[in-house]
Amino acid sequence: MRVLRVEGFGNFTFSAIALALTGFGAGGTLVFLLKKYFLKKELFASLFAPAVFLFTLGLGYYISGYISFDPLRLVWDINQLFRLLLRFFIYTVPFIAGSTFIVLAFSIEKPGKVYFFNMSGSAFGVLVILVSMYFIAPERIFIIPMSLSLVAVILLSISLRPGYKRLTALAVLTASGFIFFINAGINIVPYKGIKLTLNLPDAKIIEQKISPFGTLEVVSSKMIRSAPGLSLSFEETLPEQHGLFLDGDTFSAIDRISSPESLDYLYYQPQSAVYSLYKGPDVFIIGLGGGIAVERAYINNSRSITVTEDNPHIPNLLQNRFADYNNGFFNKNNITVIKSNGRDFINRTDSRWDIIDISVTDSMVSSIGGIYSTETNYTLTVEAFLGYLRHLNTNGSVSVTVGLKNPPRNLLKLVNLAKQTLIKQGLDPVERITVIRGWSTGTMILKKRPFTHNETDKIKAFSDRMFFDMVYYPGINPREANRYNVVEGAIYYKSVSGILNDDRYVKDYVFNLGHPTDNRPYFSYFLKIAKLPFHLKEMGHKLILVIEGGYIILFSTFVTAVVYSFILIVIPLFFAGNKIKPKKTKVLIYFGLLGISFMLIEIVLITKVSKYLANPLYSSSVIITSLLIFSGTGSYVSDILAKKRKRITPKNAAYFSILFIAGYTLIILFFYDRFYDSLANTPLFLKLAISILLILPLGLCMGIPFPSGIAELKKTPDHSIPWAWSINGYFSVIASTGAVLISTNVGLVLTGVIAAAGYLCALLVFPE
C-alpha cells in the first residue's frame, strides 16, 4: 500500500489487500490443479516456494518501474487500463508462491499448527514492517519481505539438505531477485504534487523524514507560493514559502516569517471571517499542517492558540528544524501544539474556546499517510460537531473551511452536517449558520447562539472588503448573494437555503449530501448509485470518472473480484470429477462465509477503534496484529485440546467458537462506543492495552473455524483442501472491497451484524 500510494495510484491503493488475497486464492487453485505433480514432493516444493516469492517480488518490482501509468488518462486511453491490470498481476504473483507454501503445509502438518504459524508469522511481519518504516524509504521497503524469504530458504535448505542442483537453482533464484530489486525504483505518476514541484527552477528537497506516518518532505524553491482561496483584492506579494509533502502528495506551505507584515495575506482568506467577531479570542485549531491556520489566529490577536496534529513529525519540523525560517514563531508562549488527534484531545479536555477552527485547505498534509489509507473522517461527523459545541464558550463559533468542488457538494454537505447537529441539540439551524465563499474555498461558521445583527454586519463588511460572496446568513436578501465570484444560477445560495429550509432538498439532490455520523464516517462519499444514470447522461462516463471516480473504481474492482473469483472457484470443479463432489456445496459456502465474515469484522474493528486510539496507524496495527496472533493461538490451542479430549471434535470446536464470535461481535458493535467514551481521559498506552484485551477472546475464537473445517476435510482424501483455501481467499477479496461499499451505504454497525450473521450461517453448512 505504501508503494502504491507513493507512486500516485490514489484510489487504487486499497487494491493492495485484494491483490494479496487474490494471490493467496490463486495459490490454492494452483496446488489443486497440479496435485499429481506435488504428490510426494511437498517438502521440496515448499523449499522452492519462498525462493520463487523472493524472485518474483524483485522481478515484478523491477518490471513495474518500466510500465508507466497515468491515472488521468485512464478514462480515454484503453492502454492505461491494460498497464494497470498488468501491474496488478505482477504484484499478485509473489503471493501465489507464498500461498502455495501454506497450502502444501496443510497437507503435511496439523491444520491448527499450520494456521498458528501462518497467522503469527503475518503478525510478526506487520510489526517488522512498521519498525522498518522508520529507517527504510518506501522504494526500498520490499527488502524486508525479501530478506525474510531468504531466511526461510536458508533454514529449509539446512533442514531438507537438497542436492547440489537444487541448491544452485535456489541460489540463482534468490540472487536474481535481489539483483532486480537493487536496480528497481518507484515510477511516480507525472501529476503527483512533489514531481510537479521539483520541475520548478532551483527546486530541491531540503528535508526528508521517513516513518510509518508517511514520507514527509520539504521542498525549497523561490517559485513556491500557496494561498488557497486568496481574495482577488490582495495586491501585495506573498511571502517566500517551502512546500510540505506527505508521500509526495497533499501540498501545504511553510511561510518564511521575516516580519509581522509577512503574514498580512492571511487577512485576505475566507478563514479570517470568524475572527472579525471577537477581540482576543481563545482558539482551538484541528490540524497543524504547515502552520498557516496558527499564523492566522495569531495575527488576529488571539489570546491563546491550541493546535493538534496527528503526525508527530510535523510539529518537530516547524518548532525545531525550520525555527530560523519562521523566526521561532511556533515556540511562542501563547501557542500550544498537541501531538494528538483533534477529536481524541477534545474528548479528554475540559477546556473551552471562543473559536474552533477546522481548515481543510490549510492542513491537508496533517492527515496520516502510509500504511493506513481510508476514506473515514471522524473529524467531520455529527458526534464530532456535538463535541465541538460542548467545548465552545457561551458565544463561541465553529469555523470550517473546505475547497470548492464543481458541481457543488462538499460545502453543501458541510452545511447539512451542521444543520443535523443543531437539530440534535434542539436548536434552530436557520439562525445559527453563516456561509461565505471565494473563488476556490468556502467557509461555514456555526454558533451556539443565534447570529446577532451586529455579528452579521461584521461578516458582511469583511466579505465586501475581500470580494467574497455571502452564501447564507439569517435573513439574507437573494440580491446579496453571487455578486463577486459569480456562478451560474447562484447555485450555492439556492442550495444552502434549500438545505436549511427544505428537508427534501438533500434527498432530491443529485449528489449524496447525507450527514456523516460515527457509524457512517464518510464525509467524502458523494456518489448516489440511484443517480448514476443521470450523471452518465449529463456528464458521460469519462467526466463522472474524473469527478467521483474513487467509488466507481471501488465498485468496478468489487465486480471484477466477484467475476474473477467465480471463475477460479469453478475451474477446479471441471478437473476434479467426483473427488470433491460429496462436499463441494458445503465447502464452498462454509469457507466462503468464513472469508467474508472474518474480513468484514477486521475492517469494522479497524474503523471503529481508529476513533479512540489517536490516529489510524495505531488502530490498524493493534487490530491486525492482535487478530493475527490471537487467531493463530486459538487454532493451535484447539488442536491441543482436540488431541487431549476426544469429545472436542472439529465440528464441536467450530460450533462453539462461531456462536461466541457472533455474540461477542454484537456486544462490541452496540456497547463499544459507550465503553470507550468512559475512557476519554485514559492514557494512550492503557487504551492500547484495553483494546488488545477486548480483542483477545474474539481473536482466539476467530482462529478456530477455518482449521476445524480443514481438519474435517483431512479425514477424507484431501482433494478439497487446496480448493477450500482458494475459496476462503477469493471471498476475502470480495469482502475487502465490498466492506467499504457496504459500510458507506448501511453503516459500520449493520456491516458488523452482517458479518456475525455470516458466521452463524456457516454453522449450518459445516463440511462434515
The per-residue pLDDT for range 140-192, each reduced to its tens digit, is 888 999 999 999 999 988 888 888 888 898 899 999 999 999 998 877 777 77
Q: Give the per-residue pLDDT at 627.
A: 84
On whether the CB atoms of residues 365 and 314 are closer than 8 A, the answer is yes
**pLDDT beyond 60 at 544:** no
- Judge contact between 436 and 273, C-beta under 8 A: yes
Q: Which of 161-170, 228-237, 534-543, 729-738 has the highest mean pLDDT?
A: 228-237
Distances in whole angstroms, Cα of residue 175 to Cα of each of 44, 178, 186, 249, 396: 19, 5, 21, 34, 65
pLDDT tens-digit readout, 241-274: 999 998 887 668 999 998 888 999 999 999 999 9
**Does pLDDT of 366 surpass 90?**
no
Give the DSSP letter string of 4-44: HHHHT-GGGTTHHHHHHHHHHHHHHHHHHHTHHHHTT-HHH
To the question of domain 525-768 being in CATH 1.20.1250, the answer is yes
pLDDT of 373: 32
Asked whether the predicted pLDDT for residue 555 surpasses 80, the reply is: no
First to last CA, the chain: 39
The helix/strand/coil state of 441 is strand
Per domain, the residue ranges of the chain are: 1-108+135-191, 270-508, 525-768
Q: What is the pLDDT of residue 83?
A: 78
What digits encode the pLDDT tens for the residues 329-360?
999 999 999 988 888 888 889 999 999 999 87
Using CB atoms within 10 A of its CB, is residue 622 exposed (0-12), middle (13-18) or buried (19+)?
buried
- Which pLDDT does position 10 carry in this prediction? 56
Counting every residue, how long is the chain? Answer: 768
Other C-beta atoms lying within 10 Å of the C-beta of residue 711: 23
pLDDT digits (tens, 9 = 90+) for 391-426: 999 999 999 999 888 889 899 999 999 999 999 999
Query: Helix, strand or coil for residue 763?
Result: helix
How would residue 617 be classed by pLDDT, with cut points 50, 70 and 90?
low
DSSP H or E run through 131? helix 111-132
Residues 282, 267: Cα–Cα separation, whole Å = 18
- Ramachandran quadrant class, 214 (left: phi over 0; alpha: psi -120 to 50; beta: rest): left
Q: How many CB atoms within 10 Å of residue 746?
A: 14
Each residue's pLDDT tens digit, 489-538? 899 999 999 999 998 999 999 888 999 999 998 888 887 777 777 766 66
Strand extents, DSSP E, 167-240: 204-209, 216-220
SS (H, E, C) 80-98: HHHHHHHHHHHHHHHHHHH
Superfamily of domain 270-508: Vaccinia Virus protein VP39 (3.40.50.150)
pLDDT bucket at 308, cuts 50 / 70 / 90: very high
Which grid cell is 193? 504534487
The per-residue pLDDT of the chain, averaged, comes to: 84
